[in-house]
Structure 1
Amino acid sequence: MTANRWFIDSETGHLDDVLLCPPTYYDWIPSNDIAVLSLENGLKPEHHAVQKQFDEMVDCLRSAGVTCHFLTPQPGLPYQVYTRDSSQTTPFGTVVTSLFRHERKDEKAQIEAFYGAGEIWKTAGKGTAGGHVEGGDIHVIRPGLLAVGVTGTRTDTAGAREFTGWFDEAGWQTRMIRFSDHFLHLDVVFTMVAENLALVAPDALADADLDWFRDQGIRLLPVTYKEAMRDMACNVLALGDGRVVSPRHSTRVNAMLRAEGLTVLDPELDQFSQGGGSIHCMTMPLRRRSLLRG
């Protein structure tokens, strides 16, 4: 790595830059339980609505002062729009992750083209242990604190151990959070919304892990199973400064966030949630202001 334009040390610092991908080739495929249920119910994405909702999300981010950067969408990559998974910004440089699903592996080429070799700090899965780790499972909670979800599929123990090891070497406290792959990624059941405040689907995580979050001073706002899986209600994006982007259809959760004093921006995103993702999945923060700088 010869340059490091991008930096985050938390999930909640003021967001300046984000990586997105237009949904040109977006589709639902039966690769996760949410999309499977949508397809079994006879639903399918409406491509005009998909593009309209994506544009609304971009307008929402830009109205909040976020600079949007875009990958070039490629045919045959229906979930490239979920940029959260294919790379991870860190305080030390960019990590190219190791995607599990075969239909997503070719996303790596566009990620490497966007960053360039000089901006890539690490490439996951290249060690002797191999393994997979995806950005939806990685939570840089705050400076010095990292959680990585492990389902054994999209992120497995080897991949999580490699990723957390890089932070361990830097003196961070890290924890692997194990849960069922029914929930896809950690950001389906846990996401920070503000400093020391998170949404969580408590029935999806072990009591010991919930206690660990609380021991770190994180207050947990409960989300039901239906809200997490039907609405992707945990899958929100903190913008910093008491602002959060949350899908419009998550009405109860949005009311709960507003009751906490947060400003909620609520674009319509149901075309994406029914395919197994939402605003957190669709965004990779490239630059956040450090929480250590006030």
Structure 2
Amino acid sequence: MVHEPGIEMFYGVLDPNSFLYMRRFNISKAVDQHRSLQESFKEMGVEVLKLKELIINSSRTNPSFRKFLETTALNYIKFEGDGEVEKKAKGFIKDIEDLDDETLFNVILLSPTVLSHEALGTSDYFTRILNEEPLANLYFTRDQSIITDKGLIIGRMSKRARSRETVMIKLGFLALGEKPIKEISEPAFLEGGDYLALDDFVIFGTGDRTSIGGIVQAMEAVDFDEVIVAYNPVLEHYNDYALTMHLDMYINSPKQGVIVGNPDILSNTTVDVYEKKEKGYTRKKKCSLLSYLKSKGLRIISVSLGEQLLYATNFLTLKDGKFISPDVKRNLNGVKEYLARRNYEDLLNKLKLKDEVFPETREVREEGLDFIVVDVSELTGGFGGIHCMTTGIRKN
């Protein structure tokens, strides 16, 4: 499932920091890149479902879903000011059945507040529309949910700017007839970028976006022999959690038995290992993520810290040994701009790339991996790669 960016992205580039973006970027090019990414998926035999289309089409064909969409939209529109506010609010409720499905979608997307004030000396009203926290990050559909071996978990976003996204993704899954087996409750947080399921174990990342409490809740909805809780590392002496905000920013798996990551980062990432017992999971040991992976016999495809910062690990595995990767080299200028603006001189120096850059490296060839590379350099301005922009519906 993906969400093709719309008007909400406009708000993100107006104020990148508030909307958790890395930088300003070209929206038209970003949308074109997203459409090209969708076409690449289709060419590789993947069925692509678009969130907005799912919700609108289900609303048109399913009366009960339409009613639920109306009820949900009413939670995200407000009328304020001195211009017959109560009358206008009641009028909107009365007329909601006349509104088209896309309008209801946009109400949830933008969360408008209609502000009306009397114009002095006239009988007119001055009206402003304030869109309260438009969902500028909705195209990162990875983070609002997790598909576990038992079913769908709806997460809880740690940042206010993204909190309403779980409402949207839940609507998308309900449109498919998929009901969550669990929804993370406050005060805990859980985001899908902090989840990596492997063979007989699963890794949860915890840090700025996912709390231990969220992982504990999610552990009730998984059935693996071991659960690994990785404490997402902060790079060197920089107190910038965004660069390793999620697990998928520094580790991924393109094939059973193979991990892609930077060995130094993996070595500096502390994990707690939990073992499944009769009454649930109990803590078994603490170690580094790298040592744990090696103890499981996994092979490591090394990427440099520079490649990691350029979203090398943020690829999407389509099936065992086949993945779609960001064009790492094309991400260079955007990441450079961010690091320079933050005065991260040491990290800037580590962006010097070798002749061979992931995934076009000897190690990838030796593993016999099949991949295609797609340019998402404008889209990464929102602070995420291809893995961030997708969520699976089913896992076989």
What interval of TM-score do these two structures reach, taking the shorter chain for normalisation?
A: 0.7 to 0.9
Q: Does 1:155 align with 2:210?
A: yes
1:254, 1:118 → 2: CA distance?
A: 34
Q: Quote how far apart the aligned CAs of 1:56 are.
A: 0.9
Partner of 1:68: 48
Gaps of 5+ in 1: 1-18, 290-294
Q: Does 1:201 align with 2:250?
A: no
1:233, 1:120 → 2: CA distance?
A: 31
Partner of 1:211: 291
Partner of 1:252: 357
2:376, 2:166 → 1: CA distance?
A: 25
Q: Does 1:124 align with 2:177?
A: no
1:84, 1:267 → 2: CA distance?
A: 18
1:133–1:160 CA contact under 8 A, matched in 2: yes
Which of these residues, 36, 46, 55, is aligned with residue 26 of structure 2? 46
Partner of 1:107: 165
Q: Percent identical across equivalent pairs?
A: 22
TM-score (norm 2): 0.61
Q: Does 1:221 align with 2:301?
A: yes
Q: Does 1:234 align with 2:313?
A: yes
1:198, 1:171 → 2: CA distance?
A: 18
Q: Quote how far apart the aligned CAs of 1:238 are.
A: 0.7
Partner of 1:287: 394
Cα distance per residue 1:68-124 (max 9 Å; x no partner): 111127341111000100011122111101110101011122112112286111001
Cα distance per residue 1:239-265 (max 9 Å; x no partner): 114211001234610112344321111
Gaps of 5+ in 2: 53-105, 111-133, 235-240, 270-287, 330-355
SS at structure 2 position matched to 1:255: coil
1:118, 1:274 → 2: CA distance?
A: 31
Provide the alpha-carbon RMSD of the alignment: 2.1
The structure with higher relative contact order (CA 8 Å, sep 6+) is 1
Partner of 2:284: none
Q: Quote how far apart the aligned CAs of 1:288 are.
A: 2.8
2:151, 2:18 → 1: CA distance?
A: 30
Where do residues 68-107 of structure 1 align in structure 2 (5 Å cutoff)?
Answer: 68-72=48-52, 74-75=109-110, 76-107=134-165
2:148–2:221 CA contact under 8 A, matched in 1: no
2:46, 2:290 → 1: CA distance?
A: 32
2:264, 2:211 → 1: CA distance?
A: 21
Q: Quote how far apart the aligned CAs of 1:194 are.
A: 0.9
How has the CA–CA distance of structure 1 residues 121 and 70 changed in structure 2, closer, same or farther, with 3 Å as cutoff? same
Partner of 1:262: 369
Q: Which has the higher helix share?
A: 2
One-letter amino acid matched to 1:119: K
One-letter amino acid matched to 2:183: T
1:196, 1:154 → 2: CA distance?
A: 27
1:56, 1:100 → 2: CA distance?
A: 30
1:184, 1:31 → 2: CA distance?
A: 16
Q: Quote how far apart the aligned CAs of 1:131 are.
A: 1.0
2:31, 2:135 → 1: CA distance?
A: 16
Partner of 1:12: none
